[in-house]
Structure 1
Amino acid sequence: MTTVAPHPLWWDGAPVPASRGTEPLPREVDVCIVGGGFTGLWTAYYLAVAEPSLRILVLEAEHVGFGASGRNGGWVSGLWPVSMDVIAAEHGRAAALALQAALQDTVDEVGRVAGAEGIDCGYAKGGTLCLARGSAQARRARAYAGHGASWGDGTVWLSAAEATERLAGTRVEGATYNPHCARIQPRHLADGLAAVVRRRGVTVAEGRRVTSIDAPLVRVAGGWLVRAAKVVRATEAWTARLPGLRRRVAPVYSLMVATEPLPTPVWDAIGLRDRETFSDHGHVIVYGQRTADDRIAFGGRGAPYHWASGIRPAFDEDPSVFETLRTFLRDLLPHLDGAEFTHAWGGPLGIARDWHPSVGYDESAGVGWAGGYVGDGVAATNLAGRTLADLIRGIPSPVTQLPWVGHRSPAWEPEPLRWLGVNAGLRLASAADREERITGRPALLGRALARLTAH
């Protein structure tokens, strides 16, 4: 039996920083970015491109791509966790359409930069396929496609035959397809971006944990103090660890598994010839991709939220969730019978109380931020980086006018309400899927789930 690696598939062969935590830090910089994930690296990239003279410092507690940026499913998608209806209700239809267009353009922008900078991250734009497995999912999926059409977002309904031609899953009654999604190897993108910004003069200091941000001062573990004219908080799920910010986002864990590389005959039977990412219309979120080396990387929610927004290495693993993911994937794709699973890993993502990502810059405080991506951050971080670069430089632009700029989500409830509410939502999602399998109708529990999550 194959030994299952407990680290992300994406980290295989990743470089180990030679000087992690040992190099001296500058005492004063123009911009200090806290967090070496996609948000921080994209912000550093666009700032360095726009103004090469800026003294930019990126501080990362572990290594670049340590958090969600190096653990995710590798979907560069135009998806957004809040519906365009919600955006339009607050900001108007034109603003919602502008955000939708910006997100779709961002999928291409990630590929453009990767190509221009020579970052080999396996970028392949094949769109995303969301299967409808069973009659209840099919009813909801048709409604989803119709809603997408009303916004012109590119979503189309596929018949069962059309869907299984793309992905030969079981019990498929159709699917929705959207072209605005690409697949990547996320750690390669993070490492590639770090190398690029270093070449452009940015200091990326790994192994440097920030203990507090009190602009213009950034305190680093070990007693080091950095003075920055402007500070960017790009800490996503780890935001909850900073003083005074525990209720800003809830760290919720998502776990993944990966198969061994699959032979050509198996892929001929399964499909995904265009490297589509894939999911289904269940209430429990799942997501997968065909990797550049012909594995399936597959993940989903289901791990519990931990008391007081806890984040620990032990939480990256949950044997029962890993087994659920493997069972689900084998049920979906019987052609995997006999295939070994080689990796199993997890990590936290950041969820704002209203499920609404945000980006902004407080000129009076000299502090910028972005996050709360709810798992849709691989593309959104690029848009955030471009937006922060313009906001920090005081340059009005189309991206600084988008309706997520300056959004302030309400704080999460204090414990024990936060623990009870988040975990109740996870259980409701599973129960709603069970209800649909039994009744064949859209779940009544799905409405309760929507009310609980308030989005």
Structure 2
Amino acid sequence: MLSERAARAALAGARPKTLWLDDPSAPEPEPPLTGEAEADLVVVGGGYAGLWAALRSLDRYPGESVLLVDAGRCGDQASGRNGGFASASLTHGRANGLARWPEELDLLDRLGAANLAAMEADVRRHRIDCGWEDTGELTVATRPHEAEALADVHADLTAAGEPVELLDAAATRARVDSPTYLAGLFSATGTAMVEPARLAWGLRAACLRGGVRIHEHTPALDLERSGDRVEVRTEQGRIRARRVVLATNAFPPLLRRLRLATVPVYDHVLATEPLSSEQRAAVGWAGREGVSDAGNLFHYYRLTHDDRIVWGGYDAVYHYASRIDPVLEQHGGTHLRLAEHFLETFPQLEGIAFSHRWGGVIDTSTRFTAFHGTGLAGRVAWSLGFTGLGVAATRFAADVVLDLLHGEDTERTRLRMVRERPLPFPPEPLRAAGINLTRRELERSDRNGGRRSLWLRALDRAGLGFDS
């Protein structure tokens, strides 16, 4: 009860806004599309995936015109609300990649590392002020079975040539101090911290400078073949295009075949007030690395440029019938649980206040990674299902969809990961029942020493899952 009272006190003044978007440097919106328009490439969706597709198209096909539409404002959804971990992994972690594509995992790891390096180079080249920090990542164990699992992961990564360091409790706490830590795994490479909204706004600005026409507050309602073109119908206009990229992520896709391929999941986050010098000294964190814990239901957390702690994850909330609504971004029970977990992790920060609390919808597939494909005789391509490690993977996906639209045979398009599709989620009411049962069983597994129930083992054998 004391923990709950302290958590409520810490949340009392938190603004129901996304920290990253609550920024006076946010750009003014571009005007909506009205009337008729034409372009070689039309991109539907102004999050990371769509912005990278537009920007990479400028780089790869400089003579082609690009037009991008977004139903709201670029970067306002998942791209502006996440924790800001840019990971080299294209497979939602090595374990998921090993379970699904073991024969090409080395290639996927190489392509992921190259993609992250290229992303950093693009950020530097376009002078995007997004607080890029090559910090690496610390994974912490707070239960004995998690410490054992980290030792196994360390052995696997070391055998694969990855430079990772296995830490005991004292060494882990020397990096970031929490009495809950039993062990840690630190990787100095493969993860960078970024400020999410500023990354999206920087990509948007680079697109505009390069000649991309952007229309915000322009929902795309439908698309259809029209001779050798595709027509995209919007609320107040129509666009004729040679090629179309769909980057709508959690929101309803324009192609019916994709409607069961992903589900929208709400992730919730808190941010503290800036730490004082005494509070910062109490937690250490000299390396500013991103941190996540090793449970099935995990937290992720990091420092901002002004030394706030952003703390999110754990609950992945699915609403019946794949409901998406701005009112769902605030979830009192989840925010309270996150605050309690924060104070349990950092009891030395008792009395700290949270300045922001927010939520956002992401798209997840049954395989936890993005998937790609084409439709309308190859004139439309999509990437969907980025789940929780999508910040950098969106750039890779942009190159995949451009490869597919232009019929290019590349290392990317030959990947089994790219050629395969995830199994769909079932329709309601089975979808909600299965997701909520899986969520409960994952929580029970964390409490029971990592032992996986019959239900979870069945999902493992079927190659299915649910995660954020």
The alignment's TM-score, normalised by the length of structure 1, stands at: 0.91
What SS class does the counterpart of residue 373 from structure 1 fall into? coil
Report if aligned partners of 1:210, 1:220 keep a CA contact under 8 Å in 2. Answer: yes
Q: Distance in 1 between matches of 2:262 and 2:31?
A: 27
Q: Distance in 1 between matches of 2:102 and 2:55?
A: 32
Q: Which residue of 2 aligns with 1:220?
A: 234
1:423 to 436, 442, 447: 436
Q: Which residue of 1 aligns with 2:109?
A: 100
Q: Which residue of 1 aligns with 2:132?
A: 123
Q: Distance in 1 between matches of 2:406 and 2:452?
A: 49
Which one is further off, 139-148 or 76-85? 76-85
Q: Distance in 1 between matches of 2:169 and 2:359?
A: 32
CA apart distance, 1:443 = 2.7
Q: Which runs of 5+ in 1 are unaligned?
A: 436-440
Q: Does 1:252 align with 2:265?
A: yes
Q: Which residue of 1 aligns with 2:393?
A: 380
2:206 to 172, 187, 196: 196
What SS class does the counterpart of residue 241 from structure 2 fall into? strand
Runs of 4+ in 1 over 6 A off after TM superposition: none
Q: Distance in 2 between matches of 1:431 and 1:241?
A: 37
Q: Which residue of 2 aligns with 1:72?
A: 82
CA apart distance, 1:452 = 3.4
| Letter of the structure 2 residue corresponding to residue 113 of structure 1 | D
Q: Which residue of 2 aligns with 1:294?
A: 307
What SS class does the counterpart of residue 175 from structure 1 fall into? strand
Which one is further off, 195-204 or 98-107? 98-107
Report if aligned partners of 2:36, 2:238 keep a CA contact under 8 Å in 1. Answer: no
Q: Which residue of 2 aligns with 1:168?
A: 177
Q: Which residue of 2 aligns with 1:413?
A: 426
What SS class does the counterpart of residue 182 from structure 2 fall into? strand
CA apart distance, 1:360 = 3.6
CA apart distance, 1:202 = 0.4
- Listed one character per residue, the Cα deviations across residues 290-326 of structure 1 (whole Å, up to 9, x for unaligned) are 1111100010141431111111011111111101111
Report if aligned partners of 2:175, 2:285 keep a CA contact under 8 Å in 1. Answer: yes
Q: Which residue of 1 aligns with 2:156?
A: 147
Which one is further off, 312-321 or 142-151? 142-151
CA apart distance, 1:245 = 3.3
Q: Distance in 2 between matches of 1:404 and 1:375?
A: 17
| Superposed counterparts of 1:350-389, under 5 Å | 350-362=363-375, 364-389=377-402
What SS class does the counterpart of residue 431 from structure 2 fall into? helix
- Listed one character per residue, the Cα deviations across residues 198-243 of structure 1 (whole Å, up to 9, x for unaligned) are 1000011110111123341212123x22111111111111145765
Q: Which residue of 1 aligns with 2:168?
A: 159
Which one is further off, 315-324 or 388-397? 388-397
CA apart distance, 1:156 = 3.3
Which one is further off, 102-111 or 409-418? 102-111
Report if aligned partners of 1:239, 1:248 keep a CA contact under 8 Å in 2. Answer: no
- Listed one character per residue, the Cα deviations across residues 351-395 of structure 1 (whole Å, up to 9, x for unaligned) are 112333213445823111112111110010011122333333344
Q: Distance in 2 between matches of 1:106 and 1:262?
A: 33
State the Cα RMSD in Å: 2.3
Go from structure 1 to structure 2 and tell me whether the alpha carbon gap of 1:82 and 1:20 turns closer, same or farther (over 3 Å shift): closer
Q: Distance in 2 between matches of 1:353 and 1:147?
A: 24
CA apart distance, 1:126 = 0.9
Q: Does 1:7 align with 2:20?
A: no
What SS class does the counterpart of residue 278 from structure 1 fall into? strand
Report if aligned partners of 2:370, 2:387 keep a CA contact under 8 Å in 1. Answer: yes
CA apart distance, 1:134 = 2.4
Which one is further off, 349-358 or 184-193? 349-358
Which one is further off, 122-131 or 110-119? 110-119
Number of residue equivalences:
447
Q: Which residue of 1 aligns with 2:356?
A: 343
**Percent identity over paired residues:** 30
Q: Which residue of 1 aligns with 2:66?
A: 56
1:41 to 41, 51, 57: 51
Q: Which residue of 1 aligns with 2:4?
A: none
What SS class does the counterpart of residue 413 from structure 2 fall into? helix
CA apart distance, 1:142 = 1.4
Q: Which residue of 1 aligns with 2:3?
A: none
Q: Which residue of 2 aligns with 1:438?
A: none
Which one is further off, 74-83 or 168-177? 74-83
Q: Distance in 2 between matches of 1:78 and 1:429?
A: 26
Go from structure 1 to structure 2 and tell me whether the alpha carbon gap of 1:99 and 1:297 turns closer, same or farther (over 3 Å shift): same
Q: Distance in 2 between matches of 1:131 and 1:88?
A: 21
CA apart distance, 1:400 = 3.3
CA apart distance, 1:18 = 4.3
The alignment's TM-score, normalised by the length of structure 2, stands at: 0.89
2:196 to 186, 189, 208: 186
Q: Which runs of 5+ in 2 are unaligned?
A: 1-8
CA apart distance, 1:82 = 5.2
Report if aligned partners of 1:140, 1:442 keep a CA contact under 8 Å in 2. Answer: no
What SS class does the counterpart of residue 291 from structure 2 fall into? strand
Q: Does 1:313 align with 2:326?
A: yes
Report if aligned partners of 2:30, 2:214 keep a CA contact under 8 Å in 1. Answer: no
Q: Distance in 2 between matches of 1:56 and 1:431?
A: 49
Q: Distance in 2 between matches of 1:108 and 1:432?
A: 36
Report if aligned partners of 2:14, 2:353 keep a CA contact under 8 Å in 1. Answer: no
Q: Which residue of 2 aligns with 1:443?
A: 451
Q: Distance in 2 between matches of 1:14 and 1:410?
A: 42
CA apart distance, 1:154 = 3.8
What SS class does the counterpart of residue 248 from structure 1 fall into? coil
